[in-house]
A and B are shown apart, each in its own frame.
Chain A
Amino acid sequence: MLDTLKEYFSFPFVRYAFVVGLLIALCSSLLGVTLVLKRFSFIGDGLSHVAFGAMAVAAVVGLTDRMIIIIPVTVIAAVLLLRTGQNTKIKGDAAVAMISVGALAIGYMLMNRFPTSSNISADVCSTLFGSTSILTLKRSDVLMCVIMAVIVIAVFVLFYNKIFSVTFDENFSRATGIPVNKYNLLIAVITALIIVLAMNLVGSLLISALIIFPALSAMRLFKSFKGVILCSAVISVICAAVGIILSILYSTPVGSTIVIADMSVFFLFWIISAFTGRNKT
């Protein structure tokens, strides 16, 4: 088994996939805690569908660097969705549902009518479930991913206390003169960036799992915000590593394997918390 692994890891594309996978898992888990606590879990889901739609448009237009379209579209959608959460005629959850299914429909329509390769269903499937795209990463993709991950982590560390305050109590933060809306915007933009990145790893349908499972697992057992964040980061990275390795060994789809690993940890933590009775909820 180790020999098989060693053989696989001698290929650069496998190493790239591994590095990128871990970085994405780390970033998404950091933000996941905030999103879950702010009751924004669904935004991740909505945005991933928007990213799928944008990807389809980029593919049809025939751009070599699809990120030029995907990133701005997703960021704009994130900003709009956060706005709708506050006060509009269409309620936040309905707006998310509307935008996400709309983007999904348009995306599939475009891919179907203007196919870029002969095998449409494989194309769609890999965008939705990220089956092979992570193994086709180029050096430049990896570099891009590393830079984005560094930005996300740096922003998170530098604004850690502000993010905590805005997550825990917007009203109080606003009253003491913290520009809450700016920080919400920051969170939205970073979320959008992470989702675009994570599409490579698990595909657009499974991204939410990467964001919410580690956070929910950590919340079962840990009592402080810092503890929850660190724990969810560790869970996420370990699950991504295990998932990628298992998918190589047993040639299972990468995305699903990682998500199932995350789910297993969640149930494990859930059982532990039920037995120790430390968690009232």
Chain B
Amino acid sequence: MSEQIICRNAALGYEDGIVTEGLDFTVSTGDYLCILGENGSGKSTLIKALLGLKHQVSGEIKWCSGFSAGEIGYLPQQTPVQRDFPASVKEIVQSGCLSKTGLRPFYNKEEKKLCASTMKLLGIDDLADKCYRELSGGQQQRVLLARALCATRKMLLLDEPVTGLDPKAQNEMYELIAKLNKQGITIIMVSHDIHAAVQYASHILHISKKQLFFGKKSDYLKTSIGKSFLDSEENNHA
């Protein structure tokens, strides 16, 4: 297994203070890393850093073996603007190919083919001409996932991918992500759903202002922090 992202003792933050520090972890090809943390623990700042949109305050973040930050397929959280955006599914999925076009103003045949095959892979090919704002939440997430996959097949970074979905759609989404992971796509998922993390992820990174844990899922479950987080979440659900 080759390493794709190496993070060494990195601290992240803004001019007026550090948000999270002591980040020390490695992401390798084919991993399914779940980043856990409460609100305000620095998850979104970490996402920006991984995408190369924000420079670390100290330490090191390295993208290796011919892999760059621009090659991460990103599934952002939905914004209110998007919910009533007049666009067809096809138009949105195609916009994932945009970084491949460079200065060329239009998409070529190859890129259109890629879009079609990706939509088929995610089972949304019959929605191609539907209007995005008329889809269900689960379908919308699939569309955005297809767009991310058009941008890259190496790594996906998912930011709370099941927020706002009903339980059935949540499960379908998780299964779909697991399927993609089995096909060799590295997954980094930011979530506060510890049950899904425990069920699907191979590695866990738990942060809260600083790094609390990084390692294999099985090791995480043995630590006190893992146990207590799992318990508290269980109480919340009960």
In the bound complex, do residue B133 and residue A224 qualify as a contact, i.e. CB atoms below 8 Å apart? Answer: no
- Residues of B near A174 (CB, < 8 A) are 51, 53
Kindly identify, within residues 125 to 173 of chain B, every residue whose CB is under 8 Å from any CB belonging to chain A: 129-131, 133-134, 144, 147-148, 151, 157
Shortest Cβ gap from B154 to chain A (Å): 13
For the complex, what is the distance from the CA of A1 to the CA of B58, rounded to whole Å?
77
Kindly identify, within residues 63 to 96 of chain B, every residue whose CB is under 8 Å from any CB belonging to chain A: 70, 72, 74, 76, 79, 81-82, 84-88, 91-92, 94-96
In the bound complex, do residue A224 and residue B87 qualify as a contact, i.e. CB atoms below 8 Å apart? Answer: yes
Binds A, one of B16-24, B97-105, B177-185, B219-227: B97-105
In the bound complex, do residue A171 and residue B98 qualify as a contact, i.e. CB atoms below 8 Å apart? Answer: no
In the bound complex, do residue A161 and residue B87 qualify as a contact, i.e. CB atoms below 8 Å apart? Answer: no
**Nearest A residue to B47, CB-CB:** A175
- Residues of A near B151 (CB, < 8 A) are 176
For the complex, what is the distance from the CA of A111 to the CA of B148, rounded to whole Å?
55
**Nearest A residue to B133, CB-CB:** A280
Shortest Cβ gap from B225 to chain A (Å): 30
- Residues of A near B94 (CB, < 8 A) are 161
Q: A164-B95, A176-B70, A224-B131 are in contact. Are A171 and B85 (CB under 8 A)?
A: no
Interface flag for A2 (CB, 8 Å): no
In the bound complex, do residue A224 and residue B74 qualify as a contact, i.e. CB atoms below 8 Å apart? Answer: no
In the bound complex, do residue B101 and residue A161 qualify as a contact, i.e. CB atoms below 8 Å apart? Answer: yes
Q: A160-B105, A225-B88 are in contact. Are A178 and B147 (CB under 8 A)?
A: no
Contact of A168 among B53, B95, B130, B157 (CB under 8 A): B95
Kindly identify, within residues 149 to 206 of chain A, every residue whose CB is under 8 Å from any CB belonging to chain B: 157-162, 164-165, 168-169, 171-178
- Residues of A near B85 (CB, < 8 A) are 37, 168, 225
Shortest Cβ gap from B3 to chain A (Å): 21
In the bound complex, do residue B86 and residue A225 qualify as a contact, i.e. CB atoms below 8 Å apart? Answer: yes
In the bound complex, do residue B81 and residue A175 qualify as a contact, i.e. CB atoms below 8 Å apart? Answer: no
Kindly identify, within residues 3 to 45 of chain A, every residue whose CB is under 8 Å from any CB belonging to chain B: 37-39
**Nearest B residue to A228, CB-CB:** B86
For the complex, what is the distance from the CA of A232 to the CA of B100, rounded to whole Å?
29
Interface flag for A138 (CB, 8 Å): no
Shortest Cβ gap from A148 to chain B (Å): 20
Q: A157-B105, A171-B76 are in contact. Are A37 and B81 (CB under 8 A)?
A: yes
For the complex, what is the distance from the CA of A224 to the CA of B76, rounded to whole Å?
21
Q: A171-B74, A176-B70, A219-B86 are in contact. Are A226 and B91 (CB under 8 A)?
A: yes
For the complex, what is the distance from the CA of A104 to the CA of B105, rounded to whole Å?
39
- Residues of B near A173 (CB, < 8 A) are 95, 98
- Residues of B near A280 (CB, < 8 A) are 133-134
Contact of B91 among A177, A178, A219, A225 (CB under 8 A): A225
Shortest Cβ gap from A39 to chain B (Å): 7
For the complex, what is the distance from the CA of A37 to the CA of B134, rounded to whole Å?
17
In the bound complex, do residue A172 and residue B105 qualify as a contact, i.e. CB atoms below 8 Å apart? Answer: no
In the bound complex, do residue A162 and residue B98 qualify as a contact, i.e. CB atoms below 8 Å apart? Answer: yes
Instruction: Determine which residue in A172, A177, A178, A227 has the highest number of CB atoms from chain B within 10 A of its CB, and name it.
Output: A172
Interface flag for A281 (CB, 8 Å): yes
In the bound complex, do residue A177 and residue B105 qualify as a contact, i.e. CB atoms below 8 Å apart? Answer: no
Could you pull out 20 A-B pairs where Cβ atoms are within 8 angstroms? A37-B81, A160-B105, A161-B98, A161-B105, A164-B91, A168-B85, A168-B87, A169-B79, A169-B82, A175-B51, A175-B53, A175-B74, A176-B70, A177-B70, A222-B86, A223-B131, A225-B91, A226-B91, A280-B133, A281-B84
Tell me the A residues contacting B by CB distance below 8 Å: 37-39, 157-162, 164-165, 168-169, 171-178, 219, 222-228, 280-281
